[in-house]
Amino acid sequence: MSFFFFNFSGQEALNSISTKELKLLLEKGEIQLVDVRTPEEIKGGAIKTALFVNYFDVGFEKVVTAKLNKLRPVYLYCRSGSRSTKAGKILKKAGFEVVNVLGGYQQWILEEKQSFK
């Protein structure tokens, strides 16, 4: 079940999934998951299989595109979804299939806390 995130600035929409859907994908196997948060944010926790590339780093596009396989979808997350949407647009222009994780790491943590209840 995929959703679309619409940007009303006239640019193409990115495919999006929920954190619940991401969890199911991670359970099924290896995916290209990229965390675009800052090192300070990552100190507070992260999804363990994610590749970390700080969106704010100079050369972000060059670094992230060099580490990814264009033949496989790229799943992006940040703290809440804004930076990953911006990063997704960069990767989409570079020829990648991009999927944004709605709600980002904040939503992931919320889902984790709810699953322990």
46-99 pLDDT, tens per residue? 998 999 999 999 999 999 999 999 999 999 999 998 999 999 999 999 999 999
Residue 5 confidence (pLDDT): 43
User: Is there a domain that residue 27 lies in?
Assistant: yes
User: Is there a domain that residue 7 lies in?
Assistant: no
User: Is there a domain that residue 4 lies in?
Assistant: no
pTM for the whole structure = 0.86
Q: What angle do CA 20, 24, 30 make, to 5 degrees?
A: 130
Domain that holds residue 69: 14-115
What CATH code is carried by the domain that includes residue 78?
3.40.250.10
Residue 3 in this model has a pLDDT that exceeds 80: no
